[in-house]
A = this chain, B = another copy of it.
Amino acid sequence: MSTKTFGRIPIERVTPAVDGGAFAAKAFEGEVVPFSATVYREGHDSLGAEVLLTSPNGATSIHRMHEGAPGSDTWHTKVQLKEVGTYRFQIRAFGDDFDTWHHSASVKIASGIDEDLMMLEGISLLTRAASEPSRSKANAKALVQLAEKLSDRKRSPKARLAEAETPEIAKLIAAEPIRSLETLSEEFSIRCERLRSGFGAWYEFFPRSEGAKFDAKTKTWTSGSFKTAIKRLPAVKAMGFDILYMPPIHPIGEAFRKGPNNTLNASAGDPGSPWAIGSSDGGHDAIHPDLGTEKDFAAFVKKAKELGLEIAMDLALQASPDHPWVKEHPEWFTTRADGSIAYAENPPKKYQDIYPINFDNDPQGIYAEVLRVVELWISRGVTVFRVDNPHTKPLNFWQWLIGEVNAKHPEIIFLAEAFTKPAMMHGLGKAGFQQSYTYFTWRNSTEELRAYLNEVSHETSDFFRPNFWPTTPDILPEYLQYGGKPAHKLRAAIAATASPTWGMYAGYELIESVARTGVEEHVDSEKYEYKPRDFDKAEKAGLSIAPYIAKLNEIRAKHPALAQLRNIEFHRSEDGAFLVFSKHLSAEHSATGLDDTIIVVVNTDPHSVRETSVVLDLWKLGLPDNAVFEVTDLITDETWTWGTRNYVRLDPAVEPVHILRVKRKS
């Protein structure tokens, strides 16, 4: 290692950067990305800083930075990234010679000191600047004209100085500063991925449940299939979802198959867990015969695409003992000292229906096989992979796989389903996963939510992109077991507005919330049995929140502020049970061409009517202090006049959440 050599003007702590630039930072199409750097210099002369940004198509743009908190020496700007691909950037620091001169001249001339000298120095500076080869002709001409005005000894120094202080000159100098001691930082990069990498709503269903039928006479089930599940797609789209995620659709092993509620002895008709992949019908490249044929799958994908739904496939790298790999490639598993193949275990618990893959025995072989499988499904129309338990496979494998796939198919999205410690979850983000499951499911109180939303939006967003799921087939948190419909509504509302990417598991809209005793898991889990649902009947009976979910996704689609990750800001309330946050997108960054500002107020207590004062920091909404403005609740269409301090009453039995649009004067 060698020591870094300081440039003429030190530039440090550049962001966005991951581990000081070891990895490209993440962004997605349309994201407004904050840039910052610590820039400082000797003495008292002024300095400036700017981002030199080269977009994937090779065009370079310059973005002037502004100093943040006094004394921090930290400079900031925000840039919206609109192209997919790799951006590169450097920070350029420079002596801001015009400002240095102007500061000195204005103080001295006000005091009647060095008047002639300051005029001379101004003329000399402007003349030098006008001759810079990189300066535009119009700008140079204007500087020369200003120099001439400074030279006019018939006028007072004060009057001459005033010529240098007009808005026109300020604009001119801002557009092309008079720079000296130019210093460049190292180069950093940002991988800007397509919109759906960072903004989208996911819906999860088990295709075998959609259209599954139980024959009461024979007491046997007929599995749902792509042909029956396809009928559910329009309803999924009608709720406003963008991605349909299905648990594994491959043949399921017979050996040690799990029965209902994760029991060890399955009966003949039990379908088994889709994650026990592989049987004599095939492995990761095959489709479960009950679900249909390749042709059926193709028809299903086609219909989804027509509706505007992308298909997310589950990538669960493990095998049932019946998987073809076990015979053909025993080297892809771990052989124990007695010659048997190691099944999954957490001693003394055994998971004999699952053989974990060993990535160290024959890396070349297994790496190539996984790539083949992924490429196969891409060729069948899959654009998103929800990766099961990536934290039980080597991190360097994922970095390799995602790198290989994205090099050829940059549009492919990988979601990491890792519920584990922060270091690994963050490492998976750095390794390339476009999205990650999060701890959102267990963050329920105002303080927990506020801290966690701040972390994922502002602290880790350069490498870890959150996907918020209120529940999954594995997790039914206590809060939802006991919170009923109000809790289901408010958790969906927080997920859908606080995070640009969120997901919902089928049945959530029906408030399915009975747990197996003592565990955070649904009773009669769909992982081990068929679970057909009569969504229409429930909705007609007023028992479904599907219309509420549709409304949430509609609000998301209409408000570009909610398509941003890094713009969340928090506000206070007197009652700590209220979570108050806002998302603001200024007109210049908004697809609508208008400022877009949303305030979300949540009563996180699903059991009580509460009232409070909400205190807004108006600058976070891009509003002046003491502004008074109209807000409209996008859920109820009610309208109020709000300002800094506002009375709120939320009855969770009616609506637990306000989603307020701020109306601006046009």
Contacts and interface: CB of A to CB of B under 8 A. Distances in A.
A347 interface: yes
Contacts of A19: 4, 12-13, 20
Interface of A: 1, 3-8, 10, 12-13, 19-24, 38, 40-44, 71-74, 88, 103-104, 107-108, 111, 113, 116-117, 120-121, 123-124, 181, 186-189, 336-338, 346-348, 350, 356, 360, 391-396, 399, 421-424, 427, 430-431
A42 B394 contact: yes
Of A43, A107, A188, chain B has the most CB atoms within 10 Å of the CB of A43
24 contacts: A1-B88, A1-B188, A3-B24, A4-B19, A6-B395, A6-B430, A7-B396, A8-B360, A8-B396, A10-B395, A10-B427, A12-B19, A19-B20, A41-B394, A43-B356, A71-B422, A72-B421, A107-B347, A108-B348, A111-B347, A113-B347, A117-B337, A124-B337, A181-B360
Copies in the complex: 2
B337 A421 contact: no
B73 A421 contact: yes
A393 B40 CA distance: 12
A347 B8 contact: no
A121 to B, nearest CB: 4
Contacts of A103: 347
A280 B3 CA distance: 42
Contact of A107 (B12, B116, B348, B396): B348
Q: What 6 pairs between A and B have smallest CB-CB spacing? A: A20-B20, A120-B337, A4-B22, A73-B423, A107-B347, A111-B348
Contacts of A22: 3-4, 20
Contacts of A7: 396
B12 A187 contact: no
Of A3, A5, A395, A431, chain B has the most CB atoms within 10 Å of the CB of A3
A587 to B, nearest CB: 34
Given A23-B4, A123-B337, A427-B12, A347 B108 contact: yes
A38 B8 CA distance: 34
A417 to B, nearest CB: 14
A527 to B, nearest CB: 21
Contacts of A120: 336-338
A431 B10 CA distance: 10
Nearest to A71: B421
A346 to B, nearest CB: 7
Nearest to A423: B73
Given A19-B20, A43-B392, 4 more contacts: A1-B187, A1-B188, A5-B399, A117-B337
Given A10-B395, A360-B181, A431-B6, A38 B423 contact: yes
Of A6, A40, A44, chain B has the most CB atoms within 10 Å of the CB of A6
A336 B116 CA distance: 12
A40 B3 CA distance: 28
Contacts of A124: 337
Contacts of A20: 19-20, 22
Nearest to A356: B43
A24 B392 CA distance: 35
A152 to B, nearest CB: 16
Contact of A23 (B3, B43, B72, B187): B3
Contacts of A337: 117, 120-121, 123-124
Contact of A346 (B44, B73, B186): B44
A268 to B, nearest CB: 29
A81 B4 CA distance: 23
Given A1-B189, A4-B22, A338-B120, A423 B12 contact: yes
